[in-house]
Structure 1
Amino acid sequence: MGALKIWNVMEVAEEARKGYSAQILSSMLTIDPSLSLPHMQPLIVKLCKDMFKEWSNLDDTCFYVERISGGITNLLLKVSVKVGNCKDVSITIRLYGLNTEHFIDRKKELQATKYLSAAGFGANWLGIFGNGMVNSFIKGKTLTPSDMREPKLAAKIAKQVRRLHQVEIPGCKEPQLWNDICKFFEKASVLEFDDSEKKTTYGKISFREVHDEIMELKELTSHLNSPVVFAHNDLLSGNIMTNDEEDKLYIIDYEYASYNYRGYDIGNHFAEYAGFDCDYSLYPNMNQQYHFFRHYIQSDRPDEVSQKDLETFYVEANTYALASHILWALWALIQAKMSPIDFDYLGYFFLRYNEYKRQKETCFSLARSYISAQRKD
């Protein structure tokens, strides 16, 4: 299996079937995501025939594989299958990126996927294999960062995020933000690079400073009392899809989902308005944020949301957006060492961490004023 990490698919599949459905399929096959599409196609066909027994006798020419997207973590494929005289059946295959086990607990992801799929979020979960999962195909388009700023879409996103935050998932209900940041910090602070340019760039980072910033921000946010909800934790544009014909919006991919602070999930979403290019001139202003909050809090009567609630959400989101910058900055350092994907992860660290430092004074002042006013009340 080479560099592909194999986890116990059969064990996870059995856990998934308990309390969910007898229809969750599984296969031990793995597919190298670094292969070209022509070399990958016969392996995808073999996987489909292994998982879906009713397709096992179909000719290979009945399968058409196309690449939907390839982000900086996973590869997404659409497989269209011609079954008899019926119209094509389509499924989605997601191949996990190499070395992503350093960031993602796949058992936790599948636990979340099981319940969120049952609650009507995203695609229907169909099965798992050695290094990925299979879902129903969602007809629609993936959003771009600029799409998320559009008021009608922002309102729909806010409503769906509120629905997601109300889902009950069995297991640990403690917020995972600071556990995740500390875990990433421990890994990121002891990396060694063979490439001389990367080694020099990495050597410019003061991890003592980063550690002190983490501790200071953790202490400050502890006074905000942001509610703990089941959070997506990665609400970037690529994880949101729309179908304009059916007027539907989908939140997809739950790799980082866990119980977490409400303010963090929303603040992280706002930070993602900037996209991977980190154009923070696109970060939502107060009016744009208030529009989102109104539809999150009370989508049927958004104009009736109180000013006090708007101010509370504003402080939460913008303070926790600082934590988002730190977490993804540290994540990027680990990716710089582990990921085979051609992306400037080291550069991304500095873009996120420098934005944290640029916004720190304003957001800290905002949070401290809010906390002081709450204590007086």
Structure 2
Amino acid sequence: MDIAPSVAIHDSIPHHPLSVDTALSFPVMSHRVIDVCKKLFRKWEKLDDSRFSVETVSGGITNLLLKVSVKEGNGDNVAVTVRLYGPNTEYVIDRKRELQAIKYLSAAGFGAKLLGVFGNGMVQSFINARTLNPADMKKPKLAAEIAKQLRRFHHVEIPGSKEPQLWVDIFKFFEKASSLRFEAPDMQRRYETISFKEVHEEVTQLKELTDRLNAPVVFSHNDLLSGNLMLDDEHGYECDYSLYPSKDEQFHFFRHYLKPEKPYEVPEKDLKALYIETNTFMLASHLYWALWALIQAKMSAIDFDYLGYFFLRYNQYKKEEQMCLHNLTYQSKKA
């Protein structure tokens, strides 16, 4: 188990209460971001603003990522990433829990190094690498390396409760998502087409079924799509489910996850068990992000069709449900 060194966790990380309003025009917001950087890092506090440049790294649907480049007094050029939390995202994200996890993962060598924290965001080291795309994730060598690193990620020791949070979060999301009201009439009409009685029954049934799997509890990423993986070397949400890995591709990944040093010694029964476990929890992922999207539709100021995203994920859940539940029932009878 990878245990992050405690010296890297305790607060040598600078903090400042200043926040940056993401609704500001980009030039004004950039000035505020520069101000935050100066207040967090003393070596920059006397630099002229002309030594800083700010550019958008990602137009994500939860947070805004900015690259801040700085020409320091000694002539060195450095860059950091500033992550601005999306408006009202604290409604569904426990920022204290998130920050603790990032600190430990950073110390264990995962992701960007945490450099500073401010009122509604954080500053991290800038990683000069490209994000993967769905086609990359099908390449056997890359898939094997991702599996190996995911195994290591799941073994990082994060202090705190070891009780699973997935269903706690899903039921919390359901409670919030099922009691919204939209000012825009067209959004309210679309929202009212959702049968929350049906959604609640689906959530309850799936929880009961996943409980039967006795799956291990690990610290999970929960959003490990291609854009969140980077390799050294969002233009919308049109999900192409034809790119979902085949059974053979999944077995290749599982072998390198379960036994990275000797992947072809993994017993077939272990591969089949993990196949059923993974694809059953895939259903939980659809419900999780569908309910999250409804809350975002009400709370977020980001220009994104969150209601449409709910229907995209929930409809895919319904499409996949019977096959996954059949596999689980069949496996249970064999056991």
For normalisation by structure 2, the TM-score amounts to 0.94
Instruction: Determine which of 47, 51, 63 is the counterpart of 2:40.
Output: 51
Which of 285, 289, 309 is equivalent to 1:328?
289
Q: Structure 2 CA distance, aligned partners of 1:98 and 1:137? A: 23
2:253 paired with 1:308? no
> 1:23·1:126 contact (CA, 8 Å) conserved in 2?
no
Aligned to 2:123: 134
Aligned 1:132-281 pairs, distance under 5 A: 132-244=121-233, 276-281=237-242
TM-superposed CA distance for 1:135, in Å, is 0.7
The letter for the 2-side match of 1:83 is: E
- 2:302 counterpart of 1:341: yes
Distance in 2 separating the partners of 1:230 and 1:363 = 24
Q: Distance in 2 between matches of 1:127 and 1:177?
A: 28
Q: Secondary structure at the residue paired with 2:218? A: strand
Counterpart CA distance in 1 for 2:9 and 2:245 is 39
Structure 1 residue ranges (4+ consecutive) displaced by more than 6 angstroms after TM superposition:
none
CA-to-partner distance for each residue in 1:156-194, whole Å, 9 max, x for gaps? Answer: 211111111001111111111111110000001111111
* Equivalent position amino acid for 1:364 in 2: L
Q: Is residue 79 from structure 1 mapped to residue 65 from structure 2 by the alignment?
A: no
Higher RCO structure (Cα 8 Å, ≥6 apart): 2
1:353 matches 2:317:
no
Which deviates further from its counterpart, 349-358 or 38-47? 38-47
Q: Which residue of structure 1 aligns with residue 16 of structure 2?
A: 27
Distance 1:150 1:277 in 2: 22
Instruction: Tell me what 1:61 maps to.
Output: 50
Aligned letter for 1:354?
A: N
**SS state of the match for residue 93, structure 2?**
coil
Output the amino acid matched with 1:344. D
Matched, 1:121 2:146: no
| Structure 1 partner of 2:3 | none
Counterparts of 2:316 and 2:246 in 1: how far apart (Å)?
16
Give the superposition deviation at 1:150.
2.5
SS of the equivalent of 1:276 reads coil
Tell me the percent identity. Answer: 60
TM-score by length of 1: 0.84
**DSSP 3-state at the match of 2:292:** helix
Q: Whole-Å Cα distance in 2 between the matches of residues 57 and 327 of structure 1?
A: 46
Unaligned ranges ≥5, structure 1:
1-16, 245-274
Structure 1 residue 101 corresponds to structure 2 residue 90: yes
Q: Mean alpha-carbon deviation: is it higher for 209-218 or for 232-241?
A: 232-241
